[in-house]
Amino acid sequence: MFVTEEEEDIESYRDIIEATQPGDLRFMDMGRPREVIQELQKGRASRKKTHQIVGEADPEVPPSTVPCQGCGAHLQCYDGMKPGFLPSAKFKSLSEDELSGVKCQRCVLLTNHKIALDVQVSRDHYVEVLAPLKEKKNALIILMVDLLDFPCSIFTNLLDLVGKDKWLVVVGNKFDLLPPDGSGYTRRTEDELFMACLRAGLHDNKNIKHVCLISAKTGYGVEALITEIQTMWGYRG
């Protein structure tokens, strides 16, 4: 029987596919065909899923300075659990110019296959990213709050990192997933979001200039947010 090259490729991952548990994903190479990803997804249970990045990392190779075209993280192959990861074989085969058009492994699966992989960002890295904002005289900080992880997703000492004088726009995301509990529930949610930020010390110097609710998935509230930012901040960067 004639076997196509694509079928041979799928068969080469057969042991991975068979070993995959419901809710599990083992990703080996960004170059695999779509059919392999689809087979890996078969049998996934409806319960909460945990997807794991599995690939060849090389801790001896330093990260690049080239940002991922999806998330902006610097592309690297030293740690599969860090943002910007590419398998080491692929990473080392590409020049810096060739990397400039590449997306990291997580972004490829997220945008093409709706699969979210586990990636860990340490608190120290988060602090390092925010620290330069403290030196800026004028900055508008958009604080994105996950309404399904509220109030835990509010960074309580944010102003210590970015400066006590910075303006804040507080945005509650995933509003579409909250069940309406009666008339005026939008205003009540905004008020509770503001009060939680107040308790977290984010309004000590009247920092909060606007609070709104959006859904990044459906687009609810996004245009209004953009209009508010342009009205408030203009084109100051």
CATH 3.40.50.300-classified regions of the chain: 135-233
Considering the four listed CATH numbers 3.40.50.300, 3.30.70.2190, 3.20.20.70, 3.30.450.20, the one that applies to the domain covering 135-233 is 3.40.50.300
pLDDT tens-digit map of 85-133:
999 989 999 988 899 989 999 898 888 887 777 677 777 777 777 888 8
Burial of 106 (0-12, 13-18, 19+ CB in 10 A): buried
What ranges in 145-184 are assigned the alpha helix state H?
Answer: 158-162
Name residues whose C-beta falls within 8 Å of residue 49's C-beta, 6 or more positions apart in sequence.
22, 23, 24, 25
Find tokens 């509230």 and name the residue.
221
Residue 174's region, left for phi above 0, alpha for psi from -120 to 50, else beta, is left
User: In terms of pTM, does the model score above 0.85?
Assistant: no
Rounded Cα distance between 175 and 213, Å, is 6
**Contact (CB, 8 A) for 57 and 80:** yes
pLDDT tens-digit map of 35-87:
555 555 554 544 444 455 556 889 999 999 999 998 888 999 998 888 899 99
What Cα–Cα distance (Å) separates residue 220 from each residue in 85, 202, 224, 225, 231? 32, 25, 9, 10, 19
